[in-house]
Structure 1
């Protein structure tokens, strides 16, 4: 049950005076429908109205608040598009007030000739004359106090003006009550942070633009609150999964030995270390929840297979879940190749499988005749019943959140918790790993398998395109296969990007029918056909949009050309570069750039030249672009932080994690005074996932 002290925060916005159904409806999508949502809707800037110069002293555009006497009105001629002008002065100089599309009788009432008014707004100089268009405030001198000295600027939505948004948020702030302090006193003193309510009021009533900066004490205090709620909830979820009885899986038998004998290469020390951690987890009496992070081509598939063999050798089943059909089928093909000498039953199930074939697969699965099932979300539909599922491997984990992980776990035997191994080829910065996967243990594959050669990365200005094309002819003569990546599919009037279709036509004029094209608007079957022709060597050049980013494996491809590389994110460039350098030949990646990119774009290209370390690239990407961009928050399982910024406040995350761990060691049920305050914090930041694992009290 939500604590009573928080009831005012979760009341609907419509309960505020002056907020009717129309305003509440306009607020719902961009802000939310509760008072709490309004509190987290923070200002992005502040307007300072304290400047009150004499009109004769104004030399440049600025925001001013001045008392003037109203002079002549100059209404525009009938049906004219000219503005309505009103002259006014302060005894030192004159100022013209400009109004567009305003009824004259309204202005005559508001600003009668000869009256004195306090005017506030942005003044400009046009042809030597001071002008102010549509002043923000026009009040009689005795009402001057109504003009705020410092006015917060809120993000707005259609139909709600700045004044209305400010009024609604001020009404919401009147409902705020003091909450018990959940912060560690020593930490709060050390950081110089205000109390919770004082911090919130400081952000909504700033005393200057500095109060709104990410590094201000008030903003850091609230960011830490949010991270602490996140880390505490994840720690509670993690503790709960540790408490559940797991299935001890002890592999390392005949199948694993056979696989090792058949592998054409030795595992890297990094793969061996990760397998040790996974085996220890699987053999434990509690369920495994582990994230395997590995760069493109670091050998995750083999690690996943050996982990699944542990389950099969223990008499159970394993499943591998991929986010897309193309990836699921690719996993199926590569696993089939690895296990061809083994006595193992492997099947694939995706949304494309229908009718008799699907029924047959489901019957075999329920009867225990399938050892490993590979597929998409289809693996976890209601009618998919496993004989004895003990391990789930999730590929490209960042496409699935905590809730999906919990749902998968429900497919195991009653009373037993599922072993989960999540994998991602997107190297994730440590701070994001802590916030998105704090409920999991983390293993990292940090080496490339033997035989992988580094990719020679070069940056070349686009005006040298002809030279690049000539060099491709030489590369093809020596047996190379080439990817050419374009950022757009078809010509667009609003962009100067070279379109994939146009580039394909131009290259086909030079290289004939040895040039193929794939893009996102093609049907899956057509795409697969072109890819197959490229893989078999029927095509020398494959022109593509970013559809080839994940999972495509053509070891013979040794040249990657990325056009307008400055338009891509770092992680995307890194993923694309990972498509070459997969065979034994020397590989090269050419980043073609135009000079229109800014400093951030140049920094990205510089980092690409300097390193192939996906984890360093991920950290730099986070610094340059921000968390939502790095993983794509909407589909990443990343928490959607309201106050905290993963980029600006990342130094607070490890502190919050350690704090959460210490709290639960000292006060596992959160029953002490600080513990009870922390329960309120969890509800305030809606970390219900964690709360349900606390006994009530």
Structure 2
């Protein structure tokens, strides 16, 4: 049950004074969290923090007022300049002056009667806004305050500015926030006392009040103690939810997997290369987890081409030593088929049986595979979500390996392992993720980082080229094809739309076919599974030498002898996605290159992205830079990842608080697993406040 003290905060915003049905719908569209169907609670309004502030403390004269800064002027109204009928789109100007000079108060589409009432001729008024100068003449466009000295006394000198929505006035929203603050109860402190003291955090209520009732715009700085306090609260709630998920997964008794290492050794001997130090280190951690009677819940982070699949193979060989089966789950059918093809040759040499199960299997083929899985005849089953359908029964599922983990959320992690008796879970991603984001998304897991690339991999030469030189790039592509090379040509969209000027993959393929004929293939997300497979098979075999693709080839597609990738509109991609795409080449010993085609002129962010791509191939550095340039919301593709985004915390500005919150959450769950202590009860309120109700259910289920 939610603590009753929180009830006022979970009432609809329509219960606040001055918030009727129409306004509550507008506020709901602005502040309601995802999944709330646009219905906002009082809590949601309190967590809708100002994004800026109007500072009216600065009094200036017209002549000395700095450009682009909000100032308050005391002026006398002289006359009006209304536009003629022929120039209705021209603004109306109210001309005013003080002892230092003249200013035009400028309004677009303003009614003359309204302006004359607002600015009576001969009156002395206060006006606030930004001053700009055109041809040396001062102007203030749409002042944010106009009134007498008496009116100004009732106005806050520092006024918060909130993110807004059409149809909702700032005044109504501010009044709603003020009424919401009155509903805020005094809550028991949930932060551990030593952290509270070290960080000099103000109380929860005082923190919210100081941000909504600003005394100085500097209080909105992410480093402000009140803002840091609320960021820590949000991180702590998130990390507690992940810690409870972790405890739930670990609670089910695991088993010890792996015996004398004989099958692992046989599998390793089948490899045509030596393991890198990074692979050996990751395997040591994984083998130790598997040998323990506790369940393994581990994330394996590896850069593009670092050799995660080989690590997975050897982990699955260790499971076989104990007679257990392994399931390898891939997010797409292309990737599942590729894993199956890549692993099969090693499995044959190691004496491991392997099968592929996808949604495309039906009839007797499917029945045969299901029977072999149920009997234990198959050691390793590779596939998509089809691996976890109701009719798939495993004889003894001991290890679940999930590829491209960032596409699956916490709830899916829990459901993936229900096919076996508490199987170990190893999840892998080729998307290097900054440490802060790892804690945010995967705080319920132990983490291994796989550094380095297999021996023999050459650096990838990366160049940025303007679209003006497209003909030159096409000519170089032709020479590469004549030399026996294979190329990817990546386009952002499948087909042109009226709202986009991006070149479509289909259109680009047609253009390139005019030069290279049947050497050009096409792969995009709207093709059926068999069509994609056929196109990639043609590319692998060399029937086509250039494949035009959308970002469907971003993750995992492996054609080792492809040595050139051209990425159109590179300025439109995030850094991590560019890095993933570039990782499609440089997978063999021959020199490879990546051409970033961009449309000039470039913005500052796009320039910075392309510069980083030219400077480094280190995916972890690229991920850190991407976080700085884009923020956490886009980095993992939040909509597809099941990963939360934060309403108050800024992952870059508050990164130092995340680790502290993770450690505190784990310690609390270890010492007070049912949250029954005085602090535990306070923490329950925190979990409800920040929408982590599911964690409370895990607590009860545990």
Same fold at TM > 0.5:
yes
Q: 1:357-380 deviations in whole A, cap 9, x for unaligned?
A: 445544544444443332222322
Q: Determine which of 215, 219, 226 is the counterpart of 2:223.
A: 215
1:522-549, Cα deviation, whole Å (9 max, x unpaired): 4443333232222111222223332222
Q: 1:528 to 1:147 in 2, by over 3 A?
A: same
1:608-639 per-position Cα deviation (integer Å, ceiling 9, x unaligned): 33332222222222223222222112222333
The C-alpha deviation readout for 1:585-608, integer Å capped at 9, x for no partner, is: 232333344552234333333333
**What is the distance in 2 between the residues matched to 1:658 and 1:688?**
21
The one-character-per-residue Cα deviations of 1:434-475 (angstroms, maximum 9, x if unpaired) are 121111111222132233333233445555555544444443
3-state secondary structure, aligned to 1:339? helix
Comparing 633-642 with 111-120, greater Cα deviation is found at 111-120
Q: Look up the SS of the partner of 2:215 in the other structure.
A: coil
Alignment equivalent of 1:182, drawn from 178, 187, 190 = 190
State the alpha-carbon separation in 2 of the partners of residues 150 and 684 from structure 1.
28
C-alpha separation between the residues in 1 aligned to 2:118 and 2:182? 31
Give the aligned partner of residue 50 of structure 1. Answer: 57
Deviation at 1:94, TM superposition (A): 6.6
In structure 2, runs of 5+ residues without a counterpart are 33-39
Contact 2:92-2:110 at 8 Å conserved across structures: no
What do residues 299-343 of structure 1 show as CA deviations (whole Å, max 9, x unaligned)? 222222232233344333322211122222222222333323565
1:336 equivalent to 2:344? Answer yes
Residues 616 and 111 of structure 1: CA distance in aligned 2, closer, same or farther (over 3 Å): closer
Q: Does the Cα contact within 8 Å between 1:275 and 1:307 map onto a contact in 2? A: yes
Q: What is the aligned partner in structure 2 of residue 5 from structure 1?
A: 5
Alignment correspondent of 2:35: none
Moved more, 566-575 or 58-67: 58-67
- 2:539 corresponds in structure 1 to 534
Report if the CA contact (8 A) 2:56-2:158 is conserved: yes
* Equivalent position of 2:616 in the other structure: 611
- Name the SS for the 1:651 alignment partner: helix
Equivalence for 2:36? none
**More deviation in 241-250 or 101-110?**
101-110
| Equivalent in 37, 44, 60 of residue 37 of structure 1 | 44
- Distance across 1 between alignment mates of 2:548 and 2:570: 15
Partner of 2:637: 632
- Name 1:165's counterpart in structure 2: 173
Correspondence 1:137-156 to 2 at 5 A:
137-139=145-147, 141-156=149-164
For residue 26 of structure 1, what is the aligned residue in structure 2? Answer: 26
Per-residue deviation at 1:641?
A: 1.2
Seen in structure 2, the aligned counterparts of structure 1 residues 575 and 124 have a Cα distance that, compared at 3 Å, is closer
Q: Give the aligned partner of residue 194 of structure 1.
A: 202
Deviation at 1:495, TM superposition (A): 6.2
User: Higher mean Cα deviation, 58-67 or 306-315?
Assistant: 58-67
Aligned match of 1:513 = 518
Instruction: State whether residues 83 and 99 of structure 1, in contact with CA within 8 Å, keep that contact through their aligned partners in structure 2.
Output: no
**1:576 positional shift:** 1.8
Matches within 5 A, 1:269-348: 269-341=277-349, 344-348=352-356
Matched positions, count: 693
- Preserved CA contact (<8 Å) 2:89 2:109: no
Cα distance in structure 2, aligned partners of 1:167 and 1:521 = 49
Confirm or deny: 8 A CA contact 1:483 1:559 kept in the other structure.
yes
Within 2, Cα distance between the matches of 1:84 and 1:582?
61
Once the two structures are TM-superposed, the CA of residue 41 in structure 1 deviates from its matched residue by 0.9
**Once the 2 structures are TM-superposed, how far is the Cα of residue 422 of structure 1 from its aligned partner?**
0.7
Q: Distance in 2 between matches of 1:337 and 1:71?
A: 88
Asked whether the 8 Å contact 2:92–2:108 carries over to 1, the reply is: no
- TM-score scaled by length of structure 1: 0.89
Give the superposition deviation at 1:79: 10
User: Superposition RMSD on alpha carbons, in Å?
Assistant: 3.4
- With over 3 angstroms needed to count, the CA separation of the structure-2 counterparts of 1:349 and 1:78, relative to structure 1, is same
Cα shift at 1:394: 0.9
Q: Larger deviation: 165-174 or 372-381?
A: 372-381
